[in-house]
Amino acid sequence: MTKKPFDISALYIRTALVLLVLCVIAGLTSSLSYVTSLSISNYFGLKSMRPLHVTFAILWIMIAAQGGIYKALECNYNFKSKLAHIQYGFWLLFILGVIISFALQSFGGREYWEFTPAISIFVLLASVLFAISIIKALRAIKQWPVYLWMWLTGALFFCFIFVESYLWLIPHFQTKPVTDLTLQWKANGSLVGAWNQLIYGLSFFIIETITKNKTIATSKTAFFMYFLGLFNLMFNWGHHIYIAPINPSIRYISYAVSMTEWIVFIKILFDWKKELKKARIPNQSIPNRLIRSADFWIFINLLQALLMSIPAINRYTHGTHITVAHAMASTIGINSLLLLAACVCFLQDSSRKSFKKHKKQRILLLLLNLSLIVFWLSLVFAGIKKANWQSQV
């Protein structure tokens, strides 16, 4: 009997799903601690659980995206990375280190990475190995669809920007507060752009897989979207440092690039719906409905981002829960739904099964979207209330 080879990419995806559950639990725990002003204990209070929630969210995105990419490379190009096993070990060491750091309330990091800075080396090592794996895979491929370019760009830029986000450890930057603040916020904004490249590239692969249309990922529109995303990754961080003393033109250019990227991405999703009809694929397939839900949140995020880009409005929204609402809509409504669509495609053969036959899935997706709408509106109203308070101080 032939022994079935170990599927490391599936392990990545399942681990990411566990991290998603832990992220939700940590978020609920920190929320209860905040609302009731009563910490469950010193180890599970707001101080520890809030940053743990944020870290688990980032880990869910990164590990799910990397696992999906490894699976895609295996399915389409028969590429299996030997480095993926070592990389997974680094991720486990990092997760363990983060839990211990927060449990002992050993902080010292910055936004997104509030744990002890020393354990960040595992993130860097895992990211470098992932970038090397992508490069090795691409060397054997002659023609590159857009998603291969996106994965390469996202992997390389993440390594570079992650190092940039820790330049504050160098004394030179610690003595210059404005430079330190500008660099830190710039790096955080660009990191989001880096993992968006991985996720959007994965979305192109899913669309290509479901429709079986190879031209989608090689079209001029797709590559135009890629170059806009790359430009966005490098230059749209301006709105993250809106209150810093920078040239106003940087802010306007950054928002213009960001908004154009969203519009083009929406167009691609509309084109995909046309391809579904041509391919006679059930419009109610599970991955399809997940991506359609992400499509809805792209519209919501676009509208909110357009309003936030107006300087007169940004003056009041900056630093309020409105910014958090925008981030949550991106992380949950867009990134997480797209990644869940990938998980469904890769973990079970349901890309062509009708969504109507899965009553539980329909109910869960409905509850997810309704809950997110309530959550998003709550944050928006809380932000308006805080903005009104700040304007009167």
248 falls within a domain? no
* pLDDT of res. 305: 72
* pLDDT of res. 366: 83
200 falls within a domain? no
Spatial separation of the C-alpha atoms in residues 297 and 326, rounded to whole Å: 10
Region label for 112, one of left (φ > 0), alpha (ψ between -120 and 50) or beta (otherwise): left
Read off the pTM.
0.84
* pLDDT of res. 272: 58
Structure tokens at 197: 């490249």
273 falls within a domain? no
What are 246's strand-pairing partners? none
159 falls within a domain? no
Are the CB atoms for 70 and 85 separated by under 8 Å?
no
Spatial separation of the C-alpha atoms in residues 115 and 47, rounded to whole Å: 11
Structural domain count, the chain? 1
Which domain covers residue 125, as residue numbers? 7-142
Structure tokens at 246: 């920078």
CA of 318: how far to CAs of 242, 305, 326, 333, 334, in Å?
8, 12, 11, 21, 22
35 falls within a domain? yes
Spatial separation of the C-alpha atoms in residues 392 and 108, rounded to whole Å: 34
Q: What is the pLDDT along the chain (393 residues), one digit of tens a residue?
A: 445 566 888 899 999 999 999 998 988 888 777 777 655 555 567 777 888 888 999 999 999 999 999 999 988 888 888 899 999 999 999 999 999 988 888 888 887 888 889 999 999 999 999 999 999 999 888 889 999 999 999 999 999 999 999 999 998 888 888 788 778 878 887 888 888 899 988 988 888 887 777 888 888 878 887 887 787 777 766 666 666 666 667 667 766 766 666 666 666 566 656 655 555 544 556 777 787 788 778 777 777 776 776 666 766 776 677 777 777 777 777 788 888 888 888 876 544 444 455 677 778 888 888 888 888 888 888 888 877 776 665
Structure tokens at 239: 């709105």
Spatial separation of the C-alpha atoms in residues 197 and 157, rounded to whole Å: 10
244 falls within a domain? no
Beta strands in 90-228 (DSSP E): 107-110, 113-115
Are the CB atoms for 198 and 65 separated by under 8 Å?
yes
100 falls within a domain? yes
